[in-house]
Structure 1
């Protein structure tokens, strides 16, 4: 099930659509996590094009060893369903399985094609470049069940609309929105944080030579200390309303789990935004990184391994405000030392917010600071 569209081509050439009206009555069922239910919906809508379901063994092995599907299409983050051995046997016997979200609602039918075991250490090394259990992605891999189930899905029911889902858009919807705005060149901005003023300036620098920016916060499970989803969305609403000209910024949420896979996740982020219809994506310093696991510019360097991607990366060093230059700038343009730079670490920012202090206006817009300080618990526990 595919649909032809205009504009930049989706990854693989066609936008996948796995929605169906099939009746799941009587099917063997299993419950999946909310994050996995989100990814089932992402498959169905074409956000994960060209995937039509969960990876089979050959594709899985190719992804973790080569960063590509067996047909040589770029794909760097394995999209999988993990179950225990007993459940795997029941699913294989059933053939078609109803996937239910945690509240018991059936969301999709999985057509089981194969079940297989996998090497967790090899998987972590291939995706995250490390087997250190302190890395959140490695810890997640180690906690997974031992059997993976591959097969296409048919999507049957969306979750109930909620405040946090009101900005979720399908690639069909974003492409229609870009066309209605008259945008032909669209730069995507991936984020898991509220907007620093430096991020705002980076976005605005990007659209001086492009038609618009697609701000696409990631909504889903994150590590302890990250901002909660509601804070991120509310801060972007506030920043866009107060500091963006009309018809230059589109806000939509991407509902998937953060992987912290550094360069491999940067490619995954680019593919998803290509599917949304973006022509460019901002890739900054330590994109999708965590701790000191990746070279700060590894996420930029990896794009040379994937020249066939139609979406073009826009590389930026970190932005900051320079008190001597009297402007927001970066190390390529500013000759001054750190004492002249207005910047703050994530740890220091969290400390200030937890103490009820608002960072200065060169770090966060005052309206954004106010939003954050109004939340009793703005951070993931």
Structure 2
């Protein structure tokens, strides 16, 4: 009888969950976006031949962002992309948030170049190099101009130069080149032990017999609000995939090594070993709010996740987007192939004596302590331990073990 009761209780919870517009789904590791996991790695034999002949190729220098994008294309994190966007796809992404073949895609993955560096033509094969290291060979299918102001407005919903994504757009070259790539080398990765590719995660999820996996993206150290959100989502699926973003960040963000060590500490003390996985993705944030929320969901779909947590102001910066705009955009993508999990903002209620949200807490604002990344960051800067309802003591001590845990001026 006890087992029957528990089964009924679980069923009722799941029914409530579905009513709240978060579809649990049929329960299987998600198919890659577009149906096939892309793999664009040059064979060892071809790599050896290409490097021997490298002086016969036209070479262009690329940014760290482009090098990371190449890596994400090559390992299928950006499936179905085989390379950088051609003009027809860029126009379609900007105007319709879909590729020209109709598949959902919201963030332009493009390679920019200055006019003075275009010493090649469409149809050429070129080498893309980062700090003189050949990263990839590219078939140049398309060389085209674009309007930076239009690009910024459509991707970031603003042309304000104070928006980091807009500022980066205006620094880009005046031309874009599109075409397929083959990866030769990766840029150095000091966090390789934390790195898993979509092929790896899919095998791991299968080994763990997880049929439903919820992904959580982060670029911050964990506070109690994050933990509560993650564990709330984990209640309804088989496994939790915490996927910190490593790469260039804005001033004041936590350093990569701090984020990883903080999560290691949290995993050690507060997560069951068979229910959560920590692995990184190297990616430069665009801070594109709603559009980037969809992009992040697609990336985790390619990792094999079936669900994706979308919290308040996902991928936002400043006051450029509404607090739940990144959740609302998912209404336009009902067939995305990964189920978003939406959560209201959590806070600590002094009367409830626990972490709650506005849907379940009846008490006034003066009883609420909101999780503020800025507030917690200021406490850490001042050497003050955050209250126990804000951050785990062990996590705080891990952060404080670093002389300077924050990204500074570059």
Both structures adopt the same fold (TM-score exceeding 0.5): yes
Report the 3-state secondary structure (helix = DSSP H, G, I; strand = E; otherwise coil) of the residue aligned with 1:15.
Answer: coil
1:309-348 paired onto structure 2 within 5 Å: 309-348=336-375
1:352-363 paired onto structure 2 within 5 Å: 352-363=379-390
1:35 aligned onto 2:71: no
1:20-59 paired onto structure 2 within 5 Å: 20-21=42-43, 22=46, 23-24=49-50, 25=53, 26-59=56-89
Structure of larger gyration radius: 2
Please list the CA deviations of residues 142-173 of structure 1 after superposition, one character each: whole Å capped at 9, or x if unmatched. Answer: 111111110100012233452x2321111110
Q: Distance in 1 between matches of 2:347 and 2:210?
A: 29
Give the match for residue 82 of structure 1: 112
Give the match for residue 211 of structure 1: 238
More divergent stretch after superposition (67-76 vs 33-42): 33-42
Report the 3-state secondary structure (helix = DSSP H, G, I; strand = E; otherwise coil) of the residue aligned with 1:152.
Answer: strand
Give the match for residue 3 of structure 1: none
Report the 3-state secondary structure (helix = DSSP H, G, I; strand = E; otherwise coil) of the residue aligned with 1:362.
Answer: coil
Q: Distance in 2 between matches of 1:221 and 1:338?
A: 36
Q: How many residues align?
A: 373
Please list the CA deviations of residues 240-274 of structure 1 after superposition, one character each: whole Å capped at 9, or x if unmatched. Answer: 11100111111111111011111000000000000
Identify which of 123, 130, 143 aligns with 1:101.
Answer: 130
Please list the CA deviations of residues 99-124 of structure 1 after superposition, one character each: whole Å capped at 9, or x if unmatched. Answer: 1222x221211111111110011001
- TM-score, normalising length from structure 2? 0.88
> Contact between 2:347 and 2:371, CA under 8 Å: does it hold in 1?
no
Q: Distance in 2 between matches of 1:161 and 1:262?
A: 27
Using the TM superposition, give the Cα deviation of residue 177 of structure 1 relative to its aligned residue in structure 2, in angstroms. 0.6
Q: Distance in 1 between matches of 2:148 and 2:397?
A: 43
Structure 1 unaligned blocks of 5 or more: 1-5
Q: Distance in 1 between matches of 2:252 and 2:123?
A: 42
Please list the CA deviations of residues 74-126 of structure 1 after superposition, one character each: whole Å capped at 9, or x if unmatched. Answer: 110000111111222x1327811111222x22121111111111001100111
Give the match for residue 224 of structure 1: 251
Using the TM superposition, give the Cα deviation of residue 346 of structure 1 relative to its aligned residue in structure 2, in angstroms. 2.6
Report the 3-state secondary structure (helix = DSSP H, G, I; strand = E; otherwise coil) of the residue aligned with 1:16.
Answer: coil
Give the match for residue 99 of structure 2: 69
Give the match for residue 14 of structure 2: none
1:43-192 paired onto structure 2 within 5 Å: 43-88=73-118, 90-92=119-121, 95-102=124-131, 104-162=132-190, 164-192=191-219
Using the TM superposition, give the Cα deviation of residue 348 of structure 1 relative to its aligned residue in structure 2, in angstroms. 2.2
More divergent stretch after superposition (149-158 vs 348-357): 348-357
> Contact between 2:123 and 2:139, CA under 8 Å: does it hold in 1?
no
Q: Distance in 2 between matches of 1:85 and 1:380?
A: 33
1:285 aligned onto 2:312: yes
Q: Distance in 2 between matches of 1:99 and 1:7?
A: 34
Q: Distance in 1 between matches of 2:96 and 2:153?
A: 12
Give the match for residue 199 of structure 1: 226
Using the TM superposition, give the Cα deviation of residue 200 of structure 1 relative to its aligned residue in structure 2, in angstroms. 0.6
When the two chains are superposed, the root-mean-square deviation of aligned CA atoms in Å is: 1.4
Q: Distance in 2 between matches of 1:334 and 1:133?
A: 39
Using the TM superposition, give the Cα deviation of residue 8 of structure 1 relative to its aligned residue in structure 2, in angstroms. 1.5
Report the 3-state secondary structure (helix = DSSP H, G, I; strand = E; otherwise coil) of the residue aligned with 1:166.
Answer: helix
